[in-house]
Every structure is written in structure tokens, then in C-alpha cells.
Structure 1
């Protein structure tokens, strides 16, 4: 990135945004995200609740889509933005948005971010395991937002970007759309209309007077364990009739959307600052670290981090990034040293405290005497920010890794971490494993259910299913043994 880049940081209650753009542009972008979140919370009657600073979504706005793809690093030619959900560290990468004063609707690049954030939001709204079509229909429905200059927000506008898909892509029959497992087993290798059809069905059920209440009934049936097809038939009735209605709905020239007045939207304060020279210099390292590195890329990122740290040895932001790069490269002692230096210069630096936890935790796996020091680091981070999910989760993991039974307080901490970041699959699997091991199959099922129809990871869904099956078998064996 150019050395003269003038990066700004926008900080709001629920988002942290970094962009090499003007103060006005980054403020407008951050305000859009806050208004989007507020609008969705209004729709689902959710009260405004504070987000712990480290659990905010961090958004990196890079120069263009090619930089996004370079960060993505998997060779995809079509990626224009992506989102990674993690407890205490969810991040998104999007390209700069071209100014379009002729429209208050979001750009395609912004729409991708809103789509992924809708997934993030959905798991905090719905219990159970929403079918795949519902997850994607929900995200598509809310991603087509508009933000007017008066402060109002429009949701559920027509998905114009799906028009060609609905008209030309391979059809997805309704019986396939409504059955996640059947769709995954029979989906064509060709590009199909799954996303478009999911949006269409969600939009229709949301606004159809004739089918008012059917979506709620469907969700209740799903959560009661009826099964996807049975729930659909029970809630929607004749599926052939619904399919014909969808076809007619798709041909309408005008569609309804939700238009929320400014008084329904909670505005949030946004603080803008220009990054210091050290912060701007280390930001490319931060982005690559947050994206995730491997054995090949970790040494490259570390070399860059050390170069910048040599120029700015007293900058806490730089030292925190250096600690993460050292840890990723397998250098636990160097990571702890860099984290300690950052904390000494900035005692409230929770990011550095977290890096110290990671490094100490990995060292303690070989040096058992370090576990008290690990827990002391966890306690310090928790005291600095008691709603940060990482110290809460690692307090439990410290006992599990040591081979000791976690105290009830540690289990409660892990549950709290999952409550704060329900999209974090690592914590969800860890908690489910605890419930299975302790014979609480019902709690394990409740914990794993949101993964059973994971929108983008069939392997994760299969793992959750196998864990539940193993837990169920173990419970039956235990009952059999007790009766013999």
C-alpha cells in the first residue's frame, strides 16, 4: 500500500472501520452500518444492547476488488468482499465504494457486506436451525437496503441482481428448495437459481396478505422438530399452489418493501481519527493477520511486522500487531514480549492482552507450570473488558487443556462467550462437546442445532450431525448399562 496513504479509523458502538478515504466518506459508511443494524433490530423488536468494544465488527475498506481477492487468497476470480465471524474478532473486507449521488440504494460491494452481516444477525434472532433457503432468503432480503438522506432505512427492496438468475439459471423446484439435505444431495453442478428463489419465497411470505402468519408458523414448527418438509406443508399447505403463486409474484412489475422512518432508527455516535504513521504502516500486516495466515504466509507477514516495529518500537498498535504475527509464526516468547511492551505503554490494550493469552496458552500445553500464569492473564483481560468473549472462553479451555474438570464458573463463562458471539463455531463445538461428555444430550442438541444447516459449510453441518449422533448413542449405551 502507498506510504502516503491517509488511513482513518471510524469507531462506533457496534463497528470499527478502517479506510483510506476521507473523513466524510468513512463516516457515511459507518453510519450506514449502524442504521442497518438498528433497522433490523426494530423489525424484530430487539432492544438496543451495548456491544463490548472487542466484539464489534471490524471492517477494512481496501482499494479495490483485486485487493479483496488477494486477501482472500484462494484464487477466486469473483469475490468482491468477504466476512469472517469470530468471537472477539469478526472482520470484513470490502473495496472502496464509488460515490453514486443518483441513488440511495447500496452498491453491489456494500450489498455483499450487508448480506453477510445479515447471517451474523440471524443467529442472534432465531433459535434452532433455520433451513438453508431461509438463511439465504433472509440475507438476500435484507441486503437490498437503501438509506435516505433524512435518516430513514428501506429494507426488502427488489433483488435486481437476482433477476437474470431467476430468468435464466437452472430452476430449483420448491420441494428441493425447502429441503436442505435433499438440495445438497441433488443440486446441479451448474449455477442454479437457489439464491434467487430463496429471496423470492422470503419476500413473498413477508408481504403476502393471503399468507400472513405462515412464516411464523413455519419457524415454530421447525423449532418444534417437525422436519423441514413437514413444517412447510403444515404451514404453507399445498406446495404446488405456493409454487404457482411464486411464479406469478416474480412477474409483478412493482414490489412492496419496508420503509422505516428516521424516528424508528437509533442513531449512534461515530468518532473519526486519522491513524498515526506507525498505525498506517502496520495496517497491511494487521489485515493479513486478521484474514488468517498459514505456514507459508506467516513468515512473510512476520518479516513485514518486524520491519515496521523497528521503525515504531514504542507504538502500542504496532506492538500488538507484532505480537500477533510472532504468535502466528510459532514464536510464543517473542509474542509475549511484544504484548507485554504494548500493555506497558497502554495498560487498557485488550488486544495485546488477548495475544498474551494465546501465546501463554500454547506454551502451557508443554509447560504445565504455566497454567496459573495463563489464568492470571485471562483474569487481567476479563477485568479490562468483562464482556470480551475470548477471556471467557479461554478460562474454560485452560481447564480442559490441563486435563482438569472445569468449575461451574468456567462453564458459565463459555456459555456467556457463546451468548455474546453466537456465530463463533469453535466455542459452539467446545460447549457441545462438554454437554455430550457430561451426558446432557438435550443441551448438546440445542447448542449444535444452528450448525445443522450452515449456509456455507456442509462439512461443519455434517460434523455437528455426527456429534449429535455420537452423543445420542452414548446416552443410550449409558441407559442400557444402568438397566442391566
Structure 2
């Protein structure tokens, strides 16, 4: 269970100072990790330069495909999605211990928004996993809604096998799921459609993904079915029963659905569309400091949260590894994160002040220092007003450098909780802006919904949490979001218009 006082609880800064330590790189103290940046992605890879560059190009092509198909205008993309590419499944467990037989995962949690993938199963398999996870990220960014779980996963499965040819893109091509569908006993479709989360026995999870993929494929392959699917998704997003509404959308009762889909599977029509133009990417690959070998993935683990029982061992490990790299930015920020969350907070603050002295525009260090003072304020009520003012001062400095930093906006807004009159217009708009910048983060949605309800804006609050309560990957927030939705619907009244001229900038 997450604990607010013991970990970094929010998405990483939109604009983060590169983790490459300039002095170390110039001295040749580099490790196995490489980094490259494209418009929509920030890729870190312990893979070859050729593989890293090709993955970046493939991802940009895939982003262009999704934008073209969904009518998303080109333009400002926002924070590039960090992706960590490793050659071994073992490395995934450095971020999420306990993972077994997983080739990658996407995390949009209160700690950070990022993905970790392995190429151990081959580059094609790694590419499919990347495409699957990025589809989730894209839909949450550009079309958030309370889609049924089967459609969330079926949609990602459908697009992940996109094949890029010189002039066309092939969609709906056979996936690895078809082998399972031809040889296994299918689960009843009413069970598949009713599922709210991806959990259970491995055989149940496999059935869920495979049958959801085929059902989605079927619904997307015909214009009339696609139209009915759109109406179905809209109705479910508005609170409708995904099971009761499906027969009308499919045009057949549940009793006939397996037979219909097995017949459809024998032909399985694909789709060929003109390939969207690729941008002229000029990618620069830079070596990362040697500290990345020891700490880059561990830093991501800290952002996801460390259970209390594991913290002493993790803190000792981080301290020992960071000591190998005195003056290194990645090492000092990772150590500061661990010390701040479950070590010596004063040591964390000293490290962060040192990083800011070295680079006054280091937004990540500035944000972490402000957050550290917020945690200190919670532990020392007598000094809380002074410490919270100190925190807001740092958030303001960070905002002056990066005004579209979702994390700074969120931190600032929640620092106002407990004050008389919270939330005022500015706090509401700051939370709404943070959520707009990072809509994948359930904590941002929940905080914005809470603020809206406090201002009697119940319809807006209900719409804010809808995408969370059907998310198959959501954790405890899924239940909380459903409860908040029901509370908002029960209490809704005429909405209030936002105050003119209040654009979501923190008040200093």
C-alpha cells in the first residue's frame, strides 16, 4: 500500500535536466547505458546504438499512425515519455521485484509515468510490447474515458502488431494470440466483458487478452460494427453496464458470439492504410555516466514506492552504490530520493541544495527539495507554516523555469490543503492544469475531482474520475474513483463557471 509520507508520490517533472553528468562524460566515465531524445520519447537503453535509434524511429512512426487514425493534430506533444530498454528480463525486476515472464510494463502511477521493456525475446517482440503500452499512454492522453476493460486491452493488442512497410501500414495482422485461440477452451464472453482488472490465474489472463483482441478486431473491421462500438463505448463511459450493452453492439446474443468469432477468425481480414509521412529525425545518441549501470533502474523503483519491509535493504544498497560516484548528478538525486522518503531527510536536503548550487535551473532537484519541505512540515506541525512557505518558494522557482511542469503544479496545489477556504479558484485551476498535462496519473484526477466537489462542481468531478474506475491496470484508485463518481452523481448541482483570468499559475 502506498504511504504518502514515505515516498515520492507524483509524476516526474515535465522538463527534467538530462541525467548525463557533463563532467563525468567528458572524462570518459561512461557506462553501458545510452540515451536519445525524439519529439515524443526519451529513450534510455542498455542496447546497441543501432537498436536504440531504430526503436526511437519506430515509436515516432507509431505515434504518427495513432495521431493520423484518431484525428489528433500535430503540434506540442508535452513531456516525452521515458522508456527504458534492457536486454534482460532480470532488469525489469530491478524496478518491480517479483515480475515473472513479463517482457515489459507501463507505469502511470503517483510516482512517475514511464515504460520499461526488454529485448530478450527479440527486437520484434520488444517492439510489439512497446506499441501495446504506448497505445495505453496515447489513449489516456488524448481520449480519456471509462472504456470497458476488455476494450482497453483489446485496442492495445490490435494496434501493437502494426507493420510498417515503405508505403503502407498493415493493421489487424495475425498476432501471437491466434495460436492460443485455436487450441484452447475459451472463457464465456460475458465473463471476459465483465472483467474490471487484469488479475487471476495465468490461463484466465491469457484468455482475457486473446478473446478481447479478437472481439476488438471483429468490431473494428466493419464500418457499421465500428459505429455500434463507438456508441457502446460512449454508453459504458457514461455508467452503462458493459455486459448488458454488448449484444446490441455486436448484433448477436452472447450464446452465438464464440461461434461467430471462430468463423471470423478463419479469414481474419487485415487493413492496409497509406503510411503517414515520417519526420526527418536527427537523433543524437549520448553515453550515460557509469552511475547509470548501478542506479538508473533503481531510481525508477524508488519512484514507484518501496514497501516498508524492504526499505532498510534498499536504502543501504542505494547508499553503497551512490558512494562510488561522488559529485555525480544521477547518484546524488537517487540517494536524495531514498534519504528523503525513508532515510535522513536533512541529508537529502543538503544533497539537493548542492545540486541546485551546481545548476540553478535543475528543475528536478528544485521540485524534490520543495517536496522534502512539505514532508518535513507534515512531521513537524509546530513549524509547518514556515516549512510550507519554504516549499512553495521552491515550487515557484521551478515554475518560473518550467511553467508547464505538472508535478510542480500539483505539489503547489496540495501544499494549500488545510488552509481556510481551500480550494480557492487558483488552486482548482492549478490542479486542473496538472491533470491536463498528465491525464494518465490517477492521483492527479482524484485530487482535481476532490477540489471540484469542494466547489460544488459535481458534474465535472464525475467526468474527471470516470477514466480511472474501468482502467484494468488501476490499483486502489479504481475503487476510490468509483466511490467518488457515485458521490458526485448523487450530489450534483448546477456547475459554476471558472473565474475569468485565472490561468492556473501558482500564487507566490
TM-score bucket of the superposed structures, by smaller chain: 0.7 to 0.9
Give the stretch that moved more between structures: 425-434 or 240-249. Answer: 240-249
The reply on whether 1:449 has 2:462 as its aligned counterpart is: no
Q: Distance in 1 between matches of 2:253 and 2:172?
A: 24
Instruction: Give the corresponding residue for 2:498.
Output: none
Candidates 303, 310, 317, aligned match of 2:316: 303
Helix, strand or coil for the counterpart of 2:117?
strand
Candidates 73, 92, 99, aligned match of 1:68: 92
Give the stretch that moved more between structures: 164-173 or 342-351. Answer: 164-173
Q: Cα gap change, 1:173/1:304 in structure 2, threshold over 3 Å: closer, same or farther?
A: closer
8 Å CA contact 2:45–2:86 kept in 1: the answer is: yes
8 Å CA contact 2:111–2:303 kept in 1: the answer is: no
Instruction: Give the corresponding residue for 2:64.
Output: 38
Instruction: Give the corresponding residue for 2:231.
Output: 217
Helix, strand or coil for the counterpart of 2:416?
helix
Instruction: Give the corresponding residue for 1:95.
Output: 118
The reply on whether 1:174 has 2:189 as its aligned counterpart is: yes
Helix, strand or coil for the counterpart of 1:373?
helix
8 Å CA contact 1:316–1:346 kept in 2: the answer is: no
Instruction: Give the corresponding residue for 2:392.
Output: 375
CA deviation profile, 1:172-206 (whole Å, cap 9, x unmatched): 3333444446x999999855622111111211221
Root-mean-square deviation (CA, aligned residues, Å) is: 3.1
**Superposition pairs of residues 318-333 of structure 1, within 5 angstroms:** 318-333=331-346
Instruction: Give the corresponding residue for 1:415.
Output: 432
Q: Cα gap change, 1:208/1:274 in structure 2, threshold over 3 Å: closer, same or farther?
A: same
Give the stretch that moved more between structures: 378-387 or 87-96. Answer: 87-96
The reply on whether 1:15 has 2:28 as its aligned counterpart is: no
Q: CA deviation at 1:473?
A: 4.9
8 Å CA contact 1:8–1:21 kept in 2: the answer is: yes
Q: CA deviation at 1:131?
A: 0.8
CA deviation profile, 1:124-151 (whole Å, cap 9, x unmatched): 3334311111111111111112344x48
Q: Cα gap change, 1:285/1:69 in structure 2, threshold over 3 Å: closer, same or farther?
A: closer
**Superposition pairs of residues 171-210 of structure 1, within 5 angstroms:** 171-180=186-195, 190=204, 193-209=207-223
**Superposition pairs of residues 47-62 of structure 1, within 5 angstroms:** 47-52=73-78, 55-62=79-86
Give the stretch that moved more between structures: 351-360 or 84-93. Answer: 84-93
The reply on whether 1:138 has 2:155 as its aligned counterpart is: yes
Q: Distance in 2 between matches of 1:202 and 1:381?
A: 44
The reply on whether 1:363 has 2:376 as its aligned counterpart is: yes
**Superposition pairs of residues 332-411 of structure 1, within 5 angstroms:** 332-365=345-378, 366=380, 367-368=383-384, 369-402=386-419, 405-411=422-428
Q: Cα gap change, 1:86/1:73 in structure 2, threshold over 3 Å: closer, same or farther?
A: same
Helix, strand or coil for the counterpart of 1:217?
helix
Q: CA deviation at 1:171?
A: 1.9
Instruction: Give the corresponding residue for 1:250.
Output: 265
Q: Distance in 2 between matches of 1:303 and 1:188?
A: 35
Q: Distance in 1 between matches of 2:222 and 2:257?
A: 11
Helix, strand or coil for the counterpart of 1:18?
strand
CA deviation profile, 1:369-389 (whole Å, cap 9, x unmatched): 211111111111112211111
Helix, strand or coil for the counterpart of 1:34?
helix
Give the stretch that moved more between structures: 318-327 or 130-139. Answer: 318-327
Give the stretch that moved more between structures: 278-287 or 372-381. Answer: 278-287
CA deviation profile, 1:200-244 (whole Å, cap 9, x unmatched): 121122122563522233234334554434543444433356554
8 Å CA contact 1:205–1:215 kept in 2: the answer is: yes
CA deviation profile, 1:84-121 (whole Å, cap 9, x unmatched): 11478312222235766xxxxx31x3322322221122
**Superposition pairs of residues 148-167 of structure 1, within 5 angstroms:** 148=165, 150=166, 153-159=169-175, 161-167=176-182
Q: Cα gap change, 1:195/1:346 in structure 2, threshold over 3 Å: closer, same or farther?
A: same
8 Å CA contact 2:164–2:275 kept in 1: the answer is: no
Which blocks of at least 5 consecutive residues in structure 1 are unaligned? 101-105, 477-484
Q: CA deviation at 1:8?
A: 0.9
The reply on whether 1:316 has 2:329 as its aligned counterpart is: yes
Q: Cα gap change, 1:151/1:425 in structure 2, threshold over 3 Å: closer, same or farther?
A: farther
Candidates 257, 268, 284, aligned match of 1:271: 284
Q: CA deviation at 1:442?
A: 1.2
Helix, strand or coil for the counterpart of 2:299?
helix
Instruction: Give the corresponding residue for 1:261.
Output: 275
Q: CA deviation at 1:268?
A: 4.2
CA deviation profile, 1:259-298 (whole Å, cap 9, x unmatched): 44252x4454433101133455543542432443233443
Q: Cα gap change, 1:347/1:191 in structure 2, threshold over 3 Å: closer, same or farther?
A: closer
Q: CA deviation at 1:154?
A: 3.8
8 Å CA contact 2:31–2:291 kept in 1: the answer is: no
Of the two structures, which has the highest relative contact order with CA contacts closer than 8 Å and spacing of 6 or more? 2
* TM-score of the pair, normalised by structure 1: 0.85
Q: CA deviation at 1:40?
A: 0.8
